[in-house]
Copies of this chain bind each other. A is one copy, B any other.
Amino acid sequence: MKTLDSKNFSVPGYKAWGIHCGIKKTDKKDLAVIVSDRDASMAGVFTKNRVKAPSVVIGTAKVRSGKGRIIVANSGCANACTGKQGHLDARETAEIVANEFGTKPDLVYVASTGVIGETLPIPKIRTGVATAAGLLSPTGWGQAAEAIMTTDIYPKIAVVQEEIGGKTITLAGIAKGSGMIHPDMATMLCFIVTDALVAAPMLRKMLTSSVGRSFNVITVDGDTSTNDMVLCMANGAAGNKRVAPGTKDFKKLQACLDAVTRSLAMQVVKDGEGATKFVEITVRGAKNPVEARHAASAVAKSSLVKTALFGEDPNWGRIMAVLGSCGVDMDEARTDISFGKSRLVERGVSMGKHAEKEAAAALKQREVHIGIDLHKGKGESTIWTCDLSTEYVKINAAYRS
């Protein structure tokens, strides 16, 4: 597998672009279009939130067909909690795009992100789609990635190449979202395209598995926004032999998908709203994997832990307090905590000033690992998150204004 430069690449059979059509109050890009030159296999993973944007409800229904051709995504307006009008507007957006490109609305997937409770400005989208259609380019991924950003600081792109079924295939993805999804609950969107030939049911399995080991490592079960969506299109333009389950080619393609989703998920965390650190939290020795995951999530969610990380303070007492209150089986006198490679707490007590100094040094890094061993069983889980800075509060206090 080869990682390509994300600044300048193309994926055979696809074009993309992003423009400003007027949904955002600023002059930033707010409309992205990704088009395959032929019908493609399509798979999707959607938010578990009970409150779902029309784009999610409609997309979930469409993707059962396993087919798709175009993705149209807007930022600046989530079109969530907009009642019947929201559903009509999402459907109309798909129709506008289908008409523009001479295809069926069933093959057009709509995604939205931005403020909740406001409706889409359909006339602006109509004009915008026509403009974007005229600008579409095989190398327009950077523009598309920019057009789906909200509070993101930089666009997120990842692309790899691999030899599969005697051909070179390319797999690329763009994403938006910043910070750990909870407590942010900022929308996470990700669109992946490949020219490999894969049947839709297999693509769905591959995508679900890949998301479980990437985007789900940065979210907390169920704590997803109203609009989260990961879509994956495979149009077969590479001309490879159809990838069959259990083969070497299958494993190679899964590895490509995993590489792209993991890279994008890490980019999302690193772009955390106001984040200054990428934090990996691993809980070992929990009674079972579910409790491990729950404990790691509780630590990752704690504002007190996250502000201490921002302050580069190895304040392990806050971690211990969270572990004790989150409901998992634990015993203070058995619990170990480490920062980086340095063990700071053994069997519930500090290992002293020297260990504290080493932990403090580990916290000065841009990437921090917190290891917790509960010594209660074999459950293990890892979560990625970021610290909580003054900047986070500023961004989120000002977001709608």
Which residues of A come within 8 Å of B, CB atoms?
Answer: 48-52, 78, 80-83, 115-118, 183-185, 222-226, 301-304, 307-308, 310-311, 313, 315-318, 320-327, 330-333, 345, 347-350, 388-390, 392-394, 396-401
Chain B residues with Cβ under 8 A from A82's Cβ? 349
Given A50-B325, A311-B401: 9 more A-B contacts, CB < 8 Å: A51-B323, A51-B325, A51-B332, A78-B317, A81-B345, A83-B349, A303-B388, A303-B396, A313-B399
Indicate if the CB atoms of B51 and A321 lie closer than 8 Å.
yes
User: Which 8 residue pairs are nearest across A and B when measured between Cβ atoms?
Assistant: A116-B317, A51-B324, A311-B397, A183-B303, A307-B396, A50-B324, A49-B324, A83-B349
10 CB contacts below 8 A, A to B, read: A49-B321, A51-B320, A78-B317, A81-B320, A116-B315, A118-B350, A183-B302, A184-B304, A224-B325, A310-B397
- Looking at the assembled complex, report how far the CB atom of A96 sits from the nearest CB atom of chain B, in whole angstroms: 23
Indicate if the CB atoms of B117 and A350 lie closer than 8 Å.
yes
Please report the C-alpha to C-alpha distance between residue A331 and residue B318 in the assembled complex, in whole angstroms: 36
Please report the C-alpha to C-alpha distance between residue A348 and residue B245 in the assembled complex, in whole angstroms: 44
Chain B residues with Cβ under 8 A from A183's Cβ? 301-304
Please report the C-alpha to C-alpha distance between residue A397 and residue B363 in the assembled complex, in whole angstroms: 13
Please report the C-alpha to C-alpha distance between residue A52 and residue B184 in the assembled complex, in whole angstroms: 30
Chain B residues with Cβ under 8 A from A222's Cβ? 325-327
**Most chain B CB neighbours (cut-off 10 Å) among A185, A223, A333, A347:** A185
Please report the C-alpha to C-alpha distance between residue A330 and residue B325 in the assembled complex, in whole angstroms: 27
Chain B residues with Cβ under 8 A from A400's Cβ? 308, 311, 313, 315
Indicate if the CB atoms of A311 and B396 lie closer than 8 Å.
yes
Chain B residues with Cβ under 8 A from A80's Cβ? 317, 320-321
Indicate if the CB atoms of B51 and A397 lie closer than 8 Å.
no
- Looking at the assembled complex, report how far the CB atom of A237 sits from the nearest CB atom of chain B, in whole angstroms: 38
Indicate if the CB atoms of A308 and B397 lie closer than 8 Å.
yes
Please report the C-alpha to C-alpha distance between residue A88 and residue B379 in the assembled complex, in whole angstroms: 34
Indicate if the CB atoms of B116 and A318 lie closer than 8 Å.
yes
Please report the C-alpha to C-alpha distance between residue A310 and residue B331 in the assembled complex, in whole angstroms: 37
- Looking at the assembled complex, report how far the CB atom of A56 sits from the nearest CB atom of chain B, in whole angstroms: 11
Chain B residues with Cβ under 8 A from A325's Cβ? 48-51, 185, 222-225
- Looking at the assembled complex, report how far the CB atom of A20 sits from the nearest CB atom of chain B, in whole angstroms: 23
Indicate if the CB atoms of A310 and B184 lie closer than 8 Å.
no
- CB-CB nearest in chain B for A324: B51
Chain B residues with Cβ under 8 A from A83's Cβ? 333, 347-349
Select A389's contact among B52, B348, B393, beta carbons within 8 Å.
Answer: B393
- CB-CB nearest in chain B for A387: B397
Please report the C-alpha to C-alpha distance between residue A397 and residue B223 in the assembled complex, in whole angstroms: 25
Q: Given known contacts A51-B332, A327-B222, A332-B51, is B394 in contact with A390 (CB within 8 Å)?
A: yes
Select A115's contact among B48, B52, B184, B317, beta carbons within 8 Å.
Answer: B317
Chain B residues with Cβ under 8 A from A350's Cβ? 81, 117-118
Please report the C-alpha to C-alpha distance between residue A50 and residue B325 in the assembled complex, in whole angstroms: 6
Please report the C-alpha to C-alpha distance between residue A50 and residue B330 in the assembled complex, in whole angstroms: 8
Chain B residues with Cβ under 8 A from A310's Cβ? 393, 397
- Looking at the assembled complex, report how far the CB atom of A92 sits from the nearest CB atom of chain B, in whole angstroms: 18
Chain B residues with Cβ under 8 A from A116's Cβ? 315-318, 320-321
- Looking at the assembled complex, report how far the CB atom of A217 sits from the nearest CB atom of chain B, in whole angstroms: 17
Chain B residues with Cβ under 8 A from A226's Cβ? 317, 320-321, 324
Indicate if the CB atoms of B398 and A311 lie closer than 8 Å.
yes
- CB-CB nearest in chain B for A181: B325
Chain B residues with Cβ under 8 A from A323's Cβ? 50-51
Chain B residues with Cβ under 8 A from A327's Cβ? 222
